[in-house]
Amino acid sequence: MDYRHVSYMVILLVIVSSLLILVKPYLGRGGGETISGKVVLLPEPRLTGEMSLEEAIAMRKSVRSYRNEPLTLEQLSQLLWAAQGITHENKRSAPSAGATYPFEVYIVVGNVEGLKPGIYHYDPFKHSLTLVKEGDYRRALQKAALDQKWVGNASVDIVLVAFYGRTTSYYGDRGIRYVHMEAGHIGQNIYLQATALGLGTVAVGAFYDDQIAEILGTEGVPLYIFPVGVPG
């Protein structure tokens, strides 16, 4: 047996495996959207805040009444980073089964300083927004969400859109459960970050999936809407 040949093969396998681990977060984006439009770079997220994690957990609650006041671009940046931002080693702020990252984040913007009303898609790798549609779609979203007024009254609505194939291609039907678990992880991050920023949100799951998808212009499955605003 040529042991040198075996050694070379082992080394090659180790190198290939290491490369797959490094690029897997990027491969997990497959089967999603191709978004083109005006790009808005977001302010860098802060890694320290004025409220401790323990305080945010203690104060977290669902808020359905909002003032007619704008969010700042910094606040929106922080919320999106908490939802799906890149952290260390190209990981995300919320855990994902096998680092498959089945979610795309859309934002229906109505009242944000320095940002035109419209539907935007969040790019976690560039920490930026891409304009999908210009205009205020909050009322359309409210109508598709069984006319829940807090959806229409919020300054922004953060919509989590799932692409199940990213996860089920690895885990089969069990991956459906993992996608739903991940939605909960992301949702709690949004809740806690909103609380720490002095903002309010509520998890909304009652809506017509097909109507929300049509408004957003996505082929994915909308699972969650998080209206966010200044508590009224």
Low-confidence winner among 36-40, 83-87, 127-131, 137-141 (lowest mean pLDDT) = 36-40
Low-confidence winner among 9-23, 43-57, 87-101, 173-187 (lowest mean pLDDT) = 9-23
Distance CA 185, CA 182 (A): 5
Instruction: Give the CA count within 13 Å in the CB-facing half-sphere of 152.
Output: 11
Q: What is the pLDDT of residue 113?
A: 97
Please state the pTM of the whole predicted model: 0.86
Domains in the chain, CATH or no CATH each: 31-229 (3.40.109.10)
Q: What is the pLDDT of residue 37?
A: 80
Q: What is the pLDDT of residue 89?
A: 87
Q: What are the tokens at 73? A: 């671009």
Higher pLDDT, 153 or 88: 153
- Starting at the edge strand found earlier in the chain, the sheet holding 200-201 runs 39-41, 128-134, 118-123, 103-109, 156-162, 221-229, 200-201
Q: pLDDT > 70: what percent of the chain?
A: 84
Average pLDDT for residues 200-212, to the nearest whole number? 98
CA 35 to chain centroid, in Å, comes to 15
Q: What is the pLDDT of residue 24?
A: 46
Whether pLDDT at 6 is above 60 = no
Q: What is the pLDDT of residues 11-67, one digit of tens each?
A: 554 454 444 444 444 444 444 555 668 999 999 999 999 999 999 999 999 999 999
Q: State the pairing for strand pair 118-123/128-134.
A: antiparallel
Burial class (CB in 10 A: 0-12, 13-18, 19+), 88: exposed
